[in-house]
Amino acid sequence: MTPNDIATAGQQDAGKTAQGQLDDFLRMVQARCADLERPLRGLEMFARDGSWFTGHIARMVDEMECWEINAKYIPDLERNIPTAKVRQVDSIAHEPEPGDTFGLICLDNPQGIYGDYCEHFEALPRALRILAKTGVLVFYVNLNPYRAKPSAPNDDYGMVEHDAWFERRAAFYGRDAESLTPEFAEQFYGQMFQRLGLTMKSFDGVLFRSTVPGHPDYMFRVVAAVERGPSAA
């Protein structure tokens, strides 16, 4: 089964469990990592406590680094991923050593506005500057953002500025962005990478089932393989 087949299964199988979708996603990342040079360095730019999929990612690479701005998550992060180099930093402002690059970069960013940043809009271009010549990006595209989550209070990333958030989305995507499709995402990010001097070699994803009652599926986890240099086209 190819990664694209996995993506299709993850999006269309109405009976797929959350764990099944996560397994599909991890197999997709593993398949793309198999094409990268070793030793492979991985980075999670928004690690939080590392309790969801970051530990799985760490086992796919030879060296793992985790960045997290919030001090309260650092002890659990170090405990959950003991082999990783953990840094408490502003993931977007942090400047690694010159020439420090990563073959696999994950951005499990919060949705909404947090501090001066919004979703992955500032983080993704930052990640591309420290990605190896040939690398894989894993990031979260919110296809159908919700204005409120009735089942839970706003978390510590400040999911309260909904109007401003939707305005930032519209400015980033250049259109009304209250509802996007995987097809739009593939075209948009392919063009974005090209403008930044990279070629998108593949674009796969799993659309996870919505955790918000009555709200359409929104969490599209993307796995994009990119290469520096002009497009062959």
pLDDT tens-place string over residues 175-190: 999 999 999 999 999 9
Residue of 99, 57, 100, 103 whose CA lies nearest to 81: 57
pLDDT on residue 111: 81
Domain architecture of the chain: domains with CATH: 3-227 (3.40.50.150)
Mind spelling out the 3-state secondary structure of 127-163? HHHCEEEEEEEEEEEECCCCCCCCCCCCCCCCCCCHH
Across 42-47, average pLDDT: 97
Q: Which helix H or strand E contains 107, and what residues bound it? A: strand 102-107
Please report which residue ranges of 63-212 form alpha helices under DSSP H: 74-80, 123-129, 162-173, 182-195
Average pLDDT, the chain: 87
pLDDT single digits (tens) 67-100: 999 999 999 999 999 999 999 999 999 988 888 9
- How far apart, in whole angstroms, are the C-alpha atoms of residue 92 and residue 207? 26
The answer to whether residues 103 and 135 touch, using CB atoms and an 8 Å cutoff, is yes
- Over 50: is that where the pLDDT of 1 sits? no
pLDDT single digits (tens) 51-63: 988 999 999 999 9
pLDDT single digits (tens) 193-222: 999 999 999 999 999 988 877 888 999 999
pLDDT on residue 195: 94
Share of the chain above pLDDT 70, in %: 85
pLDDT on residue 9: 38
